[in-house]
Structure 1
Amino acid sequence: MKSAFVTVGTTSFEELIAAVTAPETLQVLRSLGYGRLVLQVGRGAAAPARFRTAAFTLEVFRFKESLAEELERADLVISHAGAGTCLETLEKGKPLLVVVNEKLMNNHQLELARQLYRDGHLFYCTCSTLLESLKSINLSTLKPFPPGQPEKFAAFLDRVIGFE
C-alpha cells in the first residue's frame, strides 16, 4: 500500500488541505494505488477527521518534532513550497509535488518551485490544478537531487530572495 504525505509546514494553508481532501482528489489517489494519506495541517483551522477503511486510511496531525519519519514512509510528498521542506524531501530522494500558495505576496516560493522543476527534481502546481497534476505527472521522470551541496542551495535562495 503506497503512502502520500502532505505538509504545510509551520504555517496554515487551508486551500491545500481542502484540495487534497476533496472527494475527487482522494479518488485519484486511491486509483494511483495510495492507500494511506497523512496530513500535517500546521496552524490551520482545517483538520479533517481521521478515518480508516479496508482500502484507505487518512491520518492527521498538526506538528511533530521532526517530519523525518513521515518523509521516510512516504511514496509521494505533496508540500507547500517552503525551502526547508523542499530541501529535506529532495535530500531523502522522495518524489515531490509542490503546491504553490498563490496568496503569498512577492512569491519566492513560486520561483523556487519553478527552478527545481526546471532542474527536473520536482513537479509543482497550484491548489486549483492539483487534481489534474496528480492525474498527469510521471514521478519516474524526476532526477535525484544532488546531495551534500547546501552552499549551492543557499546561493540559489539568496539569488531568488534578492540578497545578492
Structure 2
Amino acid sequence: MVQERVLNELKNLNIKHLLLQVGDSDLIDFPLNGSILNDVYIEYYKFKDSLDSDIDKADLIVSHAGAGSILQCLEAKKRLLVVVNETLMNNHQLEIAEEMEKQGYLFYCTCSTLQTTLKKFQQHQFRAYERGNPTLFGRYVNQIMLDN
C-alpha cells in the first residue's frame, strides 16, 4: 500500500489520507506514521476493537478477502477492493472475491496486481449490495423441519 506506484494510483483517485490496520506487520518499525508520501497522508495502527468508524469515514476500502470483512464493507455501502491471499489452500477467499466481482459488488486483486486494479476505480459505479433478511432463512429452515 505504501509503494510509490500504489500511492500514485491512490492520488489519482483523489485519496489524500491512507489509514492502515497493519496488525503485527513489519511496517510498525518503519517511520511512516504521520508522514506524507506522494501527497498522501499515511497513518496506521496495529489493531482496534472495532473498525466501524474507520469504515464509515472511508471513501475506498482495501481489505483482505474474508467473507465477514466483505459483507461489513458492502453493507456500509463502500467502494471495496479485496486482496486475495494466494497462499491459502482450497482458496475460499478467491472463490468469494471472484463471485462478488462477477456480480458487480467489488473488485479483487492480488498483491502483485494491486496498482493496476486501483486504476479500474476511475469513474466506476458498483452495484449496491442489499443486506439479506435473516428471518427468511429461519422461516425456510422451520418449513423444512415441519415438512419432515
1:129 aligns with 2:113: yes
Tell me the residue number matched to 1:90.
74
1:141 to 110, 118, 125: 125
- SS where residue 16 of structure 2 aligns? strand
Amino acid at match of 2:24: R
CA distance in 2, matches of 1:36, 1:123: 21
Tell me the residue number matched to 2:144.
none
Q: Is the 1:95–1:139 contact (alpha carbons within 8 Å) kept by the matching residues of 2?
A: no
Gap regions ≥5 residues in structure 2 = 137-148
CA distance in 2, matches of 1:113, 1:33: 25
Displacement of 1:137 in angstroms is 3.1
Residue pairs, 1:56-135, within 5 angstroms: 56-135=40-119
CA distance in 1, matches of 2:135, 2:104: 19
Displacement of 1:127 in angstroms is 0.6
Question: Higher relative CO (CA 8 A, sep ≥ 6), structure 1 or 2?
Answer: 1
Q: Residues 140, 71 of structure 1: CA spacing in aligned structure 2 closer, same or farther, 3 A cutoff?
A: same
CA distance in 1, matches of 2:95, 2:133: 19
1:42 to 23, 28, 31: 23
Displacement of 1:28 in angstroms is 1.6
Q: Is the 1:99–1:127 contact (alpha carbons within 8 Å) kept by the matching residues of 2?
A: yes
Q: Is the 2:7–2:40 contact (alpha carbons within 8 Å) kept by the matching residues of 1?
A: no
Tell me the residue number matched to 1:5.
none
Gap regions ≥5 residues in structure 1 = 1-19, 153-164
Amino acid at match of 1:111: E
Q: How many residues align?
A: 134
TM-score between both structures, scaled by the size of structure 2: 0.81
Q: Residues 68, 30 of structure 1: CA spacing in aligned structure 2 closer, same or farther, 3 A cutoff?
A: same
Displacement of 1:150 in angstroms is 5.1
Q: Is the 1:37–1:58 contact (alpha carbons within 8 Å) kept by the matching residues of 2?
A: yes
Q: Is the 2:85–2:110 contact (alpha carbons within 8 Å) kept by the matching residues of 1?
A: yes
State, as a whole percentage, how many aligned pairs show the same letter.
42
1:24 aligns with 2:5: yes
